[in-house]
Structure 1
Amino acid sequence: MTEDLIIQTIEPVTHDLGGFKVHRTLPSRPRTMVGPFIFFDQMGPARLDIGTGIDVRPHPHINLATVTYLYAGAIDHRDSIGTFATIEPGAVNLMTAGSGIVHSERSPSAERAIGPELSGIQTWLALPEADEEMDAAFEHVAAADLPIVQSGGATARIIMGELWGAAAPTTTYAGTIYADIALAPGASIPVDPGADERAVYVSMGEASLDGLRLEPMTLYVLRPGIAATLRSEQGGRVILCGGEAFATPRHVWWNFVSSSRDRINQAKQDWTAGNFPKVPGDDKEWIPIPEVPKTVSYP
């Protein structure tokens, strides 16, 4: 049965960032991308100490779009095109790096005062070659503006793309599907069979796919075109993601994604030389380029 439904299972690499953990399934040695998704992190869940918070200092990106989606907590986003936006649960922050952007992510002061919660999914989407060097952009989509689909006791919020006949207003550059599915105890929902490449990921609780138990924090790449049903006996949270298959490979090194290794090498030189723009209101600190990055592709 597994071979009929699942073509690849990707277990996470877990990084302890001091106070919270991040579970990463893309990129991995077995697979770099699922549709345009080239990076898939689950942050937390965690409760940080009072007076502390997350402080991701300014750092650069090129040739990708980042998507931040929270289950709990809040994050202040600042970037080099002048954006300041606070993301809260159920909303989407879409930051398009294009030719280059720098941003920081920090816990708001109100969250620090009570001990911040942190729980959510952060993904990166590779851009089509024609859009890799587009101007940087930022888009915040409120939770109330994302469509909700309800079926069989399941509630699915469409984060990007079109699923089950409902379309999110979030900008896409390549064909993309992305949904947060909350399964009540005993609930079920059919997995939309569209898209070239699809994957499911249990972020909380438990779920199964046509009777196959899905391990938490594991990315399951589905066989193209299969129709299957997600179910949960005790309740769970599942991410469905994917989209069109890219015809040309993408390379990943640290925070840089590109179809060109030379472009990534140029970005390394530019960050080291201080040639990227600064983040207004957060320009006193930055993350230095690592000698050995934790995020790389495996050609």
Structure 2
Amino acid sequence: MLNIQLIIEERPSDIGNFMVGRLLPFREKRMVGPFSFIDHMGPVAMNDHNNLDIPPHPHIGLSTLTYLFEGNIMHKDGLGTQIEIKPGQVNWMTAGKGIAHSERTPDYLRNTDKVLHGLQIWVALPKHLEQMEPEFFHADVDQIPAWEENGVRYKLIAGEVMGHQSPIPVYSPLYFLELKTSAQQTIKIGDKLFGESAIYILEGAVESDGNKFEPKQLLVAKESSLCEFTMHAHTTIYIFGGEPFPEERFIYWNFVASTRELIEAAKERWLAQDYPPVPRETEFVPLPPQSKNIK
């Protein structure tokens, strides 16, 4: 039995000129371990007149993780980073006390037809590191641990679990796993997981105790032990989780913090344009109304 506490359906959310499927936060489950925000982007087909254009915007108190299945994104940030994110690579930006970044279709693709599909994730920082200096890390495809076990192909995108460790510099105990099957397989890895856990079904289906679960569903476990479940043939899922923090986290717009005071200070800094600028970017995104406050 899968031991499911909650089933969360993707909800459409507008992030500017782009619609995504939002999974976390959810009113009944704000976080899973340190994971505070998960968006499923696409797949979205864009023609030569449509591009991803997310202007510079700020973050505090978290690390962002971008993982693409299809398409390309040009990432620029206030550290001076300028790097193209390609499918299978991991883009990991740690905001700490504050950073701004932009995400756009690369110049060489802007006048072409293209598809964008992937996951964008926020991982909250532990309280003692909320105000750390911003950092950036990028991992190529061949740096991500990958292995096969009992007919299931695994990738450990971030964290440490099942005797493997990703090179991504995470700041609390967590895991973000990809599982793929060609044929139907029974999965028994619950005893290797810890903290809080959830499964996101990208394609195919998962079955447990006579119940079938399909794409665009997030299954939150009651306990870290996911027990036993069956992946249908040609299924891809993501298992993520880890140790939850003892303190509550507040979210406003792109800010995550353990106190409202930190968020208020971040808002004032943004209005004063007191974040290191993103090179070759001039747009300014105003603060959203209070109604955008998630928690």
Q: Same fold (TM over 0.5)?
A: yes
Q: Is 1:12 paired with 2:10?
A: yes
Equivalent position of 2:121 in the other structure: 123
Equivalent position of 1:142 in the other structure: 140
Structure-2 separation of matches of 1:192 and 1:286: 45
Instruction: State the identity %.
Output: 37
Structure-2 separation of matches of 1:229 and 1:90: 28
Deviation digits for residues 268-299 of structure 1 (CA, Å, limit 9, x no counterpart): 121122222210122x11221111464612xx
Query: Is the contact made by 1:253 and 1:293 (CA closer than 8 Å) also made in structure 2?
Result: no
Instruction: Report the CA distance between 1:229 and its aligned residue.
Output: 3.7
Equivalent position of 1:267 in the other structure: 266
Helix, strand or coil: the match of 2:201? strand
Instruction: Report the CA distance between 1:199 and its aligned residue.
Output: 0.4
Instruction: Report the CA distance between 1:94 and its aligned residue.
Output: 0.5
Instruction: Report the CA distance between 1:16 and its aligned residue.
Output: 4.7
Instruction: Report the CA distance between 1:26 and its aligned residue.
Output: 1.0
Q: So what's the TM-score if we normalise by structure 1? A: 0.92
Equivalent position of 1:105 in the other structure: 103
Query: Is the contact made by 1:102 and 1:277 (CA closer than 8 Å) also made in structure 2?
Result: yes
Equivalent position of 2:62 in the other structure: 64
Instruction: Report the CA distance between 1:246 and its aligned residue.
Output: 0.8
Deviation digits for residues 216-258 of structure 1 (CA, Å, limit 9, x no counterpart): 2222111324353443334122110000111011000000000
CA gap of 1:145–1:101, structure 2 versus 1, over 3 A, is same
Deviation digits for residues 87-126 of structure 1 (CA, Å, limit 9, x no counterpart): 1111101100000000000011233233221111111011
Q: Which amino acid is the alignment partner of residue 288 of structure 1?
A: P
CA gap of 1:260–1:17, structure 2 versus 1, over 3 A, is closer
Structure-2 separation of matches of 1:290 and 1:188: 45
Equivalent position of 1:238 in the other structure: 237
Instruction: Report the CA distance between 1:201 and its aligned residue.
Output: 0.6
Q: Does 43-52 or 70-79 show the bigger shift?
A: 43-52
Equivalent position of 1:199 in the other structure: 198
Q: Which amino acid is the alignment partner of residue 247 of structure 2?
A: T
Equivalent position of 1:280 in the other structure: 279
Query: Is the contact made by 2:206 and 2:212 (CA closer than 8 Å) also made in structure 1?
Result: yes
Which of 111, 131, 134 pairs up with 1:133?
Answer: 131
CA gap of 1:70–1:295, structure 2 versus 1, over 3 A, is farther
Structure-2 separation of matches of 1:21 and 1:54: 10
Instruction: Report the CA distance between 1:70 and its aligned residue.
Output: 0.6
Query: Is the contact made by 2:72 and 2:106 (CA closer than 8 Å) also made in structure 1?
Result: yes
Structure-1 separation of matches of 2:145 and 2:293: 32
What are the ranges of 5 or more consecutive residues in structure 2 without an aligned counterpart? none
Q: Which amino acid is the alignment partner of residue 247 of structure 1?
A: P
Structure-2 separation of matches of 1:12 and 1:115: 26
Helix, strand or coil: the match of 1:271? helix
Equivalent position of 1:208 in the other structure: 207
Q: Which amino acid is the alignment partner of residue 62 of structure 2?
A: L
CA gap of 1:108–1:86, structure 2 versus 1, over 3 A, is same
Equivalent position of 2:74 in the other structure: 76
Q: So what's the TM-score if we normalise by structure 2? A: 0.93
Query: Is the contact made by 2:190 and 2:224 (CA closer than 8 Å) also made in structure 1?
Result: no
Equivalent position of 1:154 in the other structure: 152
Equivalent position of 2:287 in the other structure: 289
Q: Does 147-156 or 89-98 show the bigger shift?
A: 147-156
Aligned residues: 294
Q: Is 1:255 paired with 2:242?
A: no
Q: Which amino acid is the alignment partner of residue 242 of structure 2?
A: G
Helix, strand or coil: the match of 1:113? coil
What are the ranges of 5 or more consecutive residues in structure 1 without an aligned counterpart? none
Q: Which amino acid is the alignment partner of residue 160 of structure 1?
A: A
Deviation digits for residues 137-188 of structure 1 (CA, Å, limit 9, x no counterpart): 0000111000112123321110111232221111110101001222224244
Structure-2 separation of matches of 1:55 and 1:278: 17
Instruction: Report the CA distance between 1:210 and its aligned residue.
Output: 5.5
Query: Is the contact made by 1:178 and 1:241 (CA closer than 8 Å) also made in structure 2?
Result: yes
Helix, strand or coil: the match of 1:286? coil
Query: Is the contact made by 1:60 and 1:101 (CA closer than 8 Å) also made in structure 2?
Result: yes
Query: Is the contact made by 1:27 and 1:295 (CA closer than 8 Å) also made in structure 2?
Result: no
Instruction: Report the CA distance between 1:54 and its aligned residue.
Output: 0.2
Structure-2 separation of matches of 1:204 and 1:97: 31
Helix, strand or coil: the match of 2:32? coil
